[in-house]
Amino acid sequence: MKVKLHVWRQKDKSTPGHLVDYDVDGIEPDMSFLEMLDILNESLILKGEDPVAFEYDCREGICGCCSLTVNGIPHGHQKGTTICQLFMRKFSDGEDITIEPFRAKSFPVIRDLIVDRSAFDRIIQAGGFITVGTGMAQDANSILIPKKIADLAMDAAQCIGCGACVAACPNSSAMLFLSAKSSQLNLLPQGKPEKLKRARAMIAQMEKEGFGSCSNHYECEAVCPKEISVQFIAKFNRDYLAASIKEGA
């Protein structure tokens, strides 16, 4: 197979970027999308040119590093799949493919296709945790948790922190990310005591980072490689409201 790529190249944060065309030949259908980019990069290096900078690590859909917008869709067109797990057999021979970074005001470009997602870390640092010191825990079976609740918490906990939700949202909102983390913790008995405090702290940080607010477009759910449901956003809003009223905030 061969493909025609239009790749976003940008030297650094402050230099404007642009699309550059590349032809890539010799592609096997069993190659992953990133292995196709490897071929391009190896050839660029041998020509003495800088390879296209893009992020990856695990290449199995779990670390959250990879972050490409392919033909306008964060992580490409296969539902529930990170770009590192998208294979070339899902493209047709000779196809035109445009590759851009995850675009959002709160994710500035570092180089080419790599963006700075440290805003997510700061949201977690603000409150995305349960306050428990090492060695303070009681026996794990002393609090029983119904399977249904544990499973639902796990559905929310699957978030890999890639930021596709933000890149897909017309408002660049981080609500799917935020609500997934807080729902996981709020659902579990261990996380309930800090529910409101956590929500307030995370929301405040989110606003400070410049993420927009959620106006129910649900583009986030559509691109989430872990298929995290927007119901967690609704749940978060309900929890937050209820807790605020109860605690008189």
Partner 1 sequence: MSLESKIPAGPLEQKWQKHKDNLKPVSPANKRKFKILIVGTGLAGGSAAATLGELGFDVEVFTYHDSARRAHSVAAQGGINAAKNYQNDGDSVWRLFIDTIKGGDYRSREANTYRLAELSSNIIDQATAQGVPFAREYGGYLDNRSFGGALVSRTFYARGQTGQQLLLGVYSALSRQVGAGSVKIHTHKDMLDLVVIDGTARGIVVRDLVNGKIETFIGDAVILATGGYANVFFLSTNALHSNATAIWRAHKKGAYFANPCFTQIHPTCIPASGDHQSKLTLMSESLRNDGRMWVPKNPDEKRPPEQIPNEDRDYFLERMYPSYGNLSPRDIASRAVKRMCDEGKGVGKSRQAVYLDFTDALGRLGKTVIADRYGNLFDMYDRIVDENPYNGPMMIYPAPHYTMGGLWVDYNLMSNIPGLFVLGEANFSDHGANRLGASALMQGLADGYFVIPYTINSYLVKGKPAAIPLDHPEIKKAENDVQNRINKLLSINGNETPTGLHRKLGKIMWDNVGMGRNEQGLKNAINQIQAIRDEFWHNLKVVGNDSYMNPVIEKALRVADFMELGELIARDALERDESCGAHFREEHQTPEGEALRDDEHFAHVAAWEYNQDKEPIRHKEELNFEFVEFATRSYK
Binding site for ligand FES (CB under 6 A): 56-59, 61-66, 82, 84
Give the shortest CB-33-to-ligand FES separation in angstroms. 10
3 DSSP β-pair partners: 24
Give the shortest CB-199-to-partner 1 separation in angstroms. 15
Among 14, 16, 48, 246, indicate the residue that binds partner 1 (CB under 8 A): 48
Which parts of 190-229 interact with partner 1 (CB under 8 A)?
Answer: 190-191
Give the shortest CB-204-to-partner 1 separation in angstroms. 12
Type of residue at 136: M
How many alpha carbons fall within 13 Å on the CB side of residue 175? 25
Nearer to partner 1, 171 or 201 (CB): 201
Handedness of CA 208, 214, 218, 221 (dihedral sign): positive
Type of residue at 135: G
66 binds, among ligand FES, partner 1, none (CB under 5 to 8 A by kind): ligand FES
Q: Are 60 and 43 in contact (CB under 8 A)?
A: no
Among 19, 45, 241, 249, indicate the residue that binds partner 1 (CB under 8 A): 45
Closest by CA position to 115, among listed 182, 175, 55, 71: 55
Nearer to ligand FES, 32 or 186 (CB): 32
E-strand ranges in 16-166 read: 18-24, 68-70, 73-74, 96-101, 109-111, 114-115
Give the shortest CB-9-to-partner 1 separation in angstroms. 13
Nearer to ligand FES, 83 or 185 (CB): 83
Give the shortest CB-226-to-ligand FES separation in angstroms. 10
Nearer to partner 1, 58 or 171 (CB): 58
* Residue 64, phi-psi category: left (phi > 0), alpha (psi -120 to 50), beta (remainder): left
Number of residues that bind partner 1 (CB under 8 A): 81
Q: What is the 3-state secondary structure (H, E, C) of 203-221?
A: HHHHHHCCCECCCCCCHHH
| Binding of partner 1 by 65 (CB under 8 A) | yes
